[in-house]
Amino acid sequence: MVKIEDLKRINLLKDVPGHLLEIIANEAQLSIYGINTELITMDEKVDTFYMLVMGQVAVKKELTPQIDVILDYIQSGSSFGTSALIKGSKASYTAVCQEPCEVITLSGENMIQLFEQNHELAYHMMLGVSRQYKRKMDVRARMIMKTLDENPGLKDEINDIEDLTLVI
């Protein structure tokens, strides 16, 4: 069981009513992982949803055996592993603890059961995931636009530049 106070530290759950947080708290586990622990491994089944209470997790992809590209650094309060809600889903990245991490975990299978039993919970969780996704896409769009501003010659080569900032 997880404390409600810990769940309230997760951005995804900030607007979730207390009675729904209690449901999550009863199903979730709190774990502590050490530096370099792989929480998600590229091409392996994703069956756990993670909510980072403390620490930092690097999301990376191997280009060659010598070169990894860091796609993102997940900070405290963020969540990842939403693919756990898709049965048979395989990871397209590796997630590794960069420092000791305190993580709330939920089994994807259990989450699906909870959502089937409580549609209000499903709604709030999916709203949180959608907001998180939008924030990430907005950041990426700003990064692309900044790169284009710093390299004006690239703008001429892009056909639908206005689509980069389209709100979905």
Residue 139: predicted pLDDT: 82
Within a domain: 29: yes
The helix/strand/coil state of 17 is coil
Per the DSSP assignment, residues forming a β-bridge with 40 are: 95
Q: Which domain holds residue 40?
A: 4-118
pLDDT tens per residue, range 12-53: 998 999 999 999 999 999 999 999 999 999 999 999 999 999
Q: Is residue 156 part of a domain?
A: no
Any domain includes 161: no
141-160 pLDDT per residue, tens: 888 788 778 877 776 666 65
pLDDT exceeds cutoff 80 at 3: yes
- The pTM for the full model equals 0.81
Considering the domain boundaries, does residue 123 fall inside one? no
- Token digits for 90? 């395989």
Name all contacts of 122-130 with Cβ < 8 Å and 24+ positions apart: 124/13, 124/15, 124/16, 124/17, 124/20, 125/12, 125/16, 127/15, 128/11, 128/12, 128/13, 128/14, 128/15, 128/16, 128/79, 129/12, 129/79, 129/82
Q: What is the pLDDT of residue 168?
A: 37
Task: Of 75, 88, 99, 83, give the one whose Cα is nearest residue 40.
Answer: 83
Q: Please give the tally of structural domains in the chain.
A: 1
Would you place residue 140 in the very low, low, confident or very high pLDDT band (cuts 50, 70, 90)?
Answer: confident
56 within domain boundaries: yes
How high is the pLDDT of residue 161?
55
Residue 166 scores a pLDDT above 60: no
Tens-digit pLDDT profile for residues 101-117: 999 999 999 999 999 99
CATH of the domain at 53: 2.60.120.10
